[in-house]
Structure 1
């Protein structure tokens, strides 16, 4: 296998392969040839997987114009999931009245719609995104009897307040604020309210990472610190600084960026010496961490502390190479969802793992990356996330 040279080009190949593998023009949606991770029933995908795939198509179209004709059919898939009363999008296709709606899934849907407008100029996507942003803002916890005040709900009918929903909705608000000037202040203020809550309630004051969530009936915070929660909060804080120039947001963004590349952080595999540690979350989480780091460099720009930009560049470059070398299928070039070099294709592990990581860890496959017989199995979200790892990574490391 040739070494990785151009992350954008690798993203191109993955996005193209994903579309060819899963998009069914007759059905007007993504269809699995056999049940895999992210499927409900036997062949349909939950909207979270669809949103990651669609974001990959829009990312591809930003760089490669030949992907632009795919944006319309990709974004049109969402209408099969829409609740016509709530104006939100449900986990599974339905007749229009299903209430199984997750605000974090819908925030990723929304982000892809607004980015589709940014790439194409087609106001249809802006209108869809605006309607969805308004729905998302309705997920704020304003229950007067709640123990934990504020924060975004995870689901329309649950009382859990999540960092992913809160930061991803803030991101959508900031995205759309650029395109609707008359309403911009409403969206920016709401995003600021989200990130203020996120930092006050869910940031660990010791390591600055973002914890997962808390119930509105409790003060007991879930201490899991997934990479995407720090990444999405970093995206939002960075853009808030860019818009407002408030030093508060700069301080928050700087602390989150440092935490994201600290090898002692929760989401690094710390069973290795510092120089060999890597982000151990699945690719569908890591893609949002990389996007957060890219947004930080873009929006904080010349105010990034000295030396930090180079450290981010080097860390993302190292991870792109590991991901390419270990998670790429040597047979067809596709990717599973794992980001951990030992949880990969057996032949890849046998050929190179010990050269890179010494005695390291024994080979295995995560459940989400194998079929019923235990063989490696790709899925829509894994392919979409892999494309985004390289497209977002290329914003920081355009050439290896």
Structure 2
């Protein structure tokens, strides 16, 4: 991933030709895939201390090119005066990465904690009380969705956990220097975020739809609130959390529910349907669940462990491009290429036609003028950062188990 996408001269992740999530004439990546790439590096460093210190230092400093002094937050593309293109979910993800870096001894710097705190300050401006709650997705839009709200909870709880580790206390009412909030107020905010997602966006199936008004049940919509619930269980447990976690986890591994590709007739060949970059957040949530609730919910926890193993063997076997060792984005073989479609047909016995995803292909003018099937295939930072972090998270969990 690093060798393919990092440009040392520009100090930026980029591609040679325009593809999904790249901007400007030099095809630099926007902050969302950028930070997922950084998170993959951080997990690689945790798995193999000392091997990625220079890469993490360089890439985390490069993230500051997105920082807007006007908002105290990170813009989707490089910051400049008047750039108001700022997403709350992007910023929560940056805070989570900064806290991971601060808490990783081989790369830790005090400035990472300072930067994470200023993002949490910003996150408190996103709660939309005027419209019934939930975190806004964007500073200039009224959309409220699962991912911005759930990631805000995880970022805030991550800061609480870090603050406790610094102070050496298991709990307390001390302020942590964020938005004039005490620890109790930060936890209450995170709990409010989780409860809003469950009240407003959870379906009868147990899965989480994308936002107010509907939308797909992407894998990360379920994974991130599950992770947040596990953090609440660790930091401020209440009697209602276990049942909430169980409902999410059970739904996530049920092949009859819509995290899986229900268009596949044979249950044996049903896998999660969306993509590697959302998958990493589901895996984080499921690992958190397995660690937190295995003792009191052993049957569901075992199903979670077995399903993670099954799914990641599928990704490792089929979503990889064996010619270069990089990964595609989609978890649906029939959405990638003719070669992968043939594998899908052989695997499942389903003779369906292709449904090619344009985001697996170059997006320069020459390619966009062609039918999707004729456009040149390409790898992306988002797809490979997501795949790398997925394997690193799961690998560390299974190795420790």
Give TM-score, length-normalised by structure 2. 0.88
Match in the other structure for 1:287: 280
Cα deviation per residue 1:181-206 (whole Å; 9 max; x = unaligned)? 333323212110101111111111x1
Contact 1:326 1:349 in 2 (8 A): no
Match in the other structure for 2:167: none
Pick from 296, 300, 311: which aligns with 2:289?
A: 296
Match in the other structure for 2:214: 222
Other structure's SS at 1:213 match: coil
Match in the other structure for 1:380: 381
Aligned equivalents of 2:393 and 2:31: distance in 1? 21
Tell me if 1:165 matches 2:158.
Answer: no
Pick from 75, 84, 90: which aligns with 1:99?
A: 84
Shift, 1:76, TM fit = 1.1
Aligned equivalents of 1:385 and 1:266: distance in 2? 21
In structure 2, relative to structure 1, the CA distance for the partners of 1:274 and 1:348 (3 Å cut) is closer
Contact 2:202 2:208 in 1 (8 A): yes
Contact 1:88 1:135 in 2 (8 A): yes
Residue ranges of structure 1 left out of the alignment (5+ in a row): 1-17, 215-220
Shift, 1:326, TM fit = 1.4
Pick from 112, 128, 141: which aligns with 2:97?
A: 112
Shift, 1:50, TM fit = 0.6
Match in the other structure for 1:132: 119
Contact 1:313 1:396 in 2 (8 A): no
Alignment of 1:1-400 (within 5 A): 18-42=1-25, 43-65=27-49, 66-119=51-104, 120-143=107-130, 146=131, 149-181=132-164, 182=174, 183=176, 184-204=183-203, 206-214=204-212, 221-271=213-263, 272-303=265-296, 305-350=297-342, 352-363=343-354, 365-371=356-362, 372=367, 373-398=374-399
Cα deviation per residue 1:261-287 (whole Å; 9 max; x = unaligned)? 111221211122222211011111111
Aligned equivalents of 1:100 and 1:263: distance in 2? 38
Aligned residues: 370
Contact 2:334 2:340 in 1 (8 A): no
Aligned equivalents of 2:399 and 2:354: distance in 1? 31
Other structure's SS at 2:52 match: helix
CA RMSD of aligned residues (A): 1.9
Aligned equivalents of 1:345 and 1:333: distance in 2? 16
Shift, 1:395, TM fit = 4.1
Shift, 1:360, TM fit = 5.0
Q: Which fold has the larger relative contact order, with Cα–Cα distance below 8 Å and residues 6 or more apart in sequence?
A: 1
Give TM-score, length-normalised by structure 1. 0.88
In structure 2, relative to structure 1, the CA distance for the partners of 1:396 and 1:63 (3 Å cut) is closer
Contact 1:323 1:341 in 2 (8 A): no
Aligned equivalents of 1:110 and 1:127: distance in 2? 10
In structure 2, relative to structure 1, the CA distance for the partners of 1:343 and 1:106 (3 Å cut) is same
Other structure's SS at 2:144 match: strand
Residue ranges of structure 2 left out of the alignment (5+ in a row): 165-173, 177-182, 368-373
Aligned equivalents of 2:39 and 2:81: distance in 1? 23
